[in-house]
Amino acid sequence: MKITDITTIICGNPWKNWLFTRVETDEGIHGIGEGTINALSKTAEAMVHELKPLVIGMDPFQTELIVQKLQRDIFSEGGQVHGCAISAIEIACWDIKGKALKQPIYNLLGGRCHEKLRAYANGWYRGPRKPESFAKKAKEVVRRGYTALKFDPFGSNWRMMTPEESDLTYDICAAVRDAVGPKVDILIEGHCRFSVAEAIKFGERITPLRPGWFEEPVPHTNIAAMVEVARHLNFPVACGESLSSKQQFAELLKHDAVHIIQLEPLFVGGFGPAKQICGMVDAHFGVTAPHSAQGPVCSAACAHLNASTPNFYIHEIFDDYNEPWEKDIVIGGVEVKDGYIEPSNRPGLGLDLNWKEIKKHPHQQGYWLPLFKSGWEKREGEKG
């Protein structure tokens, strides 16, 4: 079997343009991939087409060789964008392998370790940054059966918060805890916002609320800073979504301070590198909670990765809070029932995309999350 063509399409989801790929073969089997990245989907798409000539004629079963060729051999380091372009091709190749062998991808990654995957909701808190709005929407999440939910209560704050802003943020966290009760995990998203001192100060303040984790409270580019925060707090710090190489994860893990690792399969180059990183985390007695804040193909890829990972912890899911037309562009896909995902037993990823429907929702320049702009949590895009 040989790869004969790679085509791309961008779907204009208002809070993040989704980049999808379709890899064709000479045996008529095609695979679907994804390379979504916040404000740079056009950039990642261009990189897919720059890399495309290197894999035309290759066997899609040789995913390790494909990743090496696309990563090492071009002798350029493009970070997250590079990882997304590789993943968009590599994931589609795994989809092809699964279809050809009539097996779900998790069976090709070592087999299914979990009958169902506990999920946490994200994207549920669209609306005003007020405690009563967060509380009302959190109750709706729990009514859907979720036992965990994640949210960023910090507005557009960066590095430091005024006392007024700190109080409002705390009140939002406390309102969510009161709304969902003591048995639901509340996961606090930091989006790399703060200095070490501010992260520790606020982390200590919310400790009585028993957060499940404080996610990326400081920038990922300074691993020592992340480690310092983790060692000061009496509840877990989670991070890893912004890292794009195994070497970065090795640097993080060697400190044995952060043990909830949120690798993003799209940023690291797809299933192969992601599976290797999961093994590295296991060697440090850690658990994985992969970042899955992209499109529906990424959701399915994470489900297969998580199902085949013994040290999997929890699955991030946006699908219940995306645009309603998402169901029109996906054939198959991930479903959440009572807060859990049952991995598909269909071949490959277990889904396909309706490109005709996707064309009804074209790329828009302002469709990304401006995380340091007031009102970003409404998820209306940069122009919102």
What would the two tokens of residue 381 be?
């895009």
**Distance (Å, rounded) from C-alpha 370 to C-alpha 243?**
20
- DSSP for 344-369 reads --SSBTSEEE-HHHHTTS---TT-S-
Q: How far apart are CA 11 and CA 357, in angstroms?
A: 9
What was the pLDDT predicted at 383? 67
- Per the CB < 8 A criterion, the answer to whether 33 and 20 are in contact is yes
Is 249 strand, coil or helix? Answer: helix
Q: What is the pLDDT of residues 358-369, one digit of tens each?
A: 999 999 999 999
Superfamily of segment(s) 3-103? Enolase-like, N-terminal domain (3.30.390.10)
Angle at 305 between CA 331 and CA 308, to 5 degrees: 115
208-253 pLDDT, tens digit per residue, is 999 999 999 999 999 999 999 999 999 999 999 999 999 999 999 9
**Distance of alpha carbon 189 from its chain centroid, rounded?**
13
The domain 107-348: what is its CATH number? 3.20.20.120
pLDDT value of position 382: 87
Of the chain, the percentage scoring pLDDT greater than 70 comes to 99
Structure tokens at 154: 């910090």
* pLDDT, position 92: 99
Q: Tell me the domain boundaries of the chain.
A: 3-103, 107-348
Predicted local confidence at residue 17, as pLDDT = 98
**Do the Cβ atoms of 138 and 172 come closer than 8 Å?**
no
pLDDT in tens, 283-328: 999 999 999 999 999 999 999 999 999 999 999 999 999 999 999 9
- Per DSSP bridges, beta strands 185-189 and 148-151 are parallel
Tokens 């990654």 sit on residue? 109
Q: Is the dihedral of CA 104, 5, 297, 110 positive or negative?
A: positive
Q: Where are the alpha helices (DSSP H) in the chain?
A: 41-55, 63-71, 79-101, 105-108, 131-143, 163-180, 196-206, 223-232, 246-253, 265-268, 271-283, 296-307, 326-329, 355-358
Residue 238's DSSP bridge partners are 215, 260
